[in-house]
Copies of this chain bind each other. A is one copy, B any other.
């Protein structure tokens, strides 16, 4: 007993998928208990990044996908003109890099929004493994398909919805993702800056600010800086009209 604990302490970076609290969200979700070792064989666990550090950079050779273990990550595309487009925010258990699997280089840049640890899955080994574990392959298809759907939902949000609707939708999406991770769904701290929110939702920072204060005046939320409290979730859902991205990123 004491030995088992000691082993764990001696090699904290090798903490196994077996005892990771995210195993019900992350890749291990799809793998049988006895095959989990094979997944552990290919993963490099526990890399740590500080706020603002890049996990990978666009146009750099694509090697690995990454699962967020703790903290949070923002992905974005930089155009030739130097404009940034935020393509997603990622929370613990979510997989980054799926959009790069068609190219030799990363299709976007991933940046830690706070102190963040990630697990790295080299793609060559991952592909080899999914070829052997049908369940894992299925899960990969599942995740990638989900990513497509999310992106379609985002496109829809951008093309059809008002500023208020977009922001309400984002708040609700974050809320349900926090809930899944057993954190408060009504009381959380936004990992990203207003700027990132604006960019992600295709708005100006000023507009985001204005909508936040408007929601606040209506008693729907309480916000001070990045600290947010959802006071009236029903009202938020009303704002989003017909919007179906409930439990997904």
Contact = CB atoms under 8 A, between A and B. Distances in A.
A100 interface: yes
Interface stretch (A46-54, A134-142, A228-236): A134-142
A98 to B, nearest CB: 6
Contact of A159 (B85, B145, B243): B85
Contact of A99 (B103, B149, B242): B149
A244 interface: yes
A145 B144 contact: yes
A125 interface: no
B244 A142 contact: no
B127 A131 contact: no
A152 B152 contact: no
A202 interface: yes
Given A101-B144, A137-B130, A145-B100, A85 B155 contact: yes
Contacts of A243: 79
A102 B143 contact: yes
Interface residues of A, number: 48
Nearest to A142: B102
Given A144-B148, A148-B147, A160 B83 contact: yes
B152 A87 contact: yes
**Interface SS of A by simple majority:** helix
Nearest to A146: B102
Given A83-B242, A134-B131, A107 B149 contact: yes
Nearest to A99: B148
A154 interface: yes
Contacts of A168: none
Ranked nearest first, the 4 interchain pairs of A and B with the lowest CB-CB distance are: A159-B202, A81-B242, A151-B151, A102-B145
Interface of A: 77, 79-83, 85, 87, 98-103, 107-108, 127-128, 130-131, 134, 137-138, 140-149, 151-152, 154-156, 158-160, 199, 201-202, 241-244
Given A99-B149, A127-B138, A159-B201, 18 more contacts: A77-B156, A80-B244, A85-B152, A85-B159, A98-B145, A99-B145, A99-B152, A101-B141, A101-B145, A102-B144, A127-B137, A131-B131, A131-B134, A140-B141, A148-B151, A151-B154, A159-B199, A159-B202
